[in-house]
Amino acid sequence: MRLFIAIDFDAAVKAALLDVQDELRARCSGATFSTRDNLHLTLAFLGECDSVERAAAETAMDIDFGAFDLTFDGVGRFRGHDGDTWYVDLAKSPALISLQSRLVKRLTAAGLPVDARPFRPHVTLARRVATAIQPCPCPPIHAGVDRVVLMESHRLDGDLIYSPLATKMADDTRP
């Protein structure tokens, strides 16, 4: 099973992210756009794991963290050979960086295959954008973080599906 640990967002945040995605969609063609259910912020990509590694990932997620807020504040892109990946960027968040760093340390200590690339927090809106476009506007979007989720990535009838497997709630979740 292909696993990653992520921050999932509530319906209001996803709706705001989809508004930005709609602006992007109007500016380009031929891209693959993230679905509403797949909008997330990856904290750690694990890749192919067996059931023992899945259990170790769930154990590693058992870290103390308080609820915190994120602000999305821009649109950017990663250049690629088969088109660019466009994303919503975040304002600096020491709480997010701390959470991700502690999580990766626990995963690594458990011997899990954590992606070694530097952490660049973002939410992917579109992949394989082939046309040269100007960035679209992104009004500030505020998101509360009160949980992290172990997700499985799989294909169903050709569609990419992310299924939650386990959740770790913040120690001081907000109502």
Please enumerate in sequence order all residues whose Cβ is within 8 A of that of 83, keeping only pairs 6 or more positions apart, or say none. Answer: 30, 31, 127, 128, 129, 130
CATH of the domain at 144: 3.90.1140.10
- Domain-embedded: residue 42: yes
d(CA 109, CA 56): 10
- pTM tops 0.75: yes
Task: Dig out the tokens for 46 from the structure.
Answer: 């694990």
Please state the domain count of the chain.
Answer: 1
C-beta separation of 63 from 49 below 8 A: no
> Strands 159-169, 122-129: parallel, antiparallel or unpaired by DSSP?
unpaired
pLDDT in tens, 15-60: 999 999 998 888 887 788 999 999 999 999 999 999 999 999 999 9
Contacts of 12 (CB under 8 A, 6+ apart): none
- Domain range for 67 is 2-169
User: Is 161 within a domain?
Assistant: yes
Residue 139 lies in a domain: yes
**Whose CA is closest to 5, among 60, 69, 68?**
60
175 occurs within a structural domain: no
As a whole-number percent, the residues of the chain with pLDDT over 90 amount to: 71
pLDDT, one tens digit per residue, over 72-110 is 999 998 988 888 899 999 999 999 999 999 999 999 999
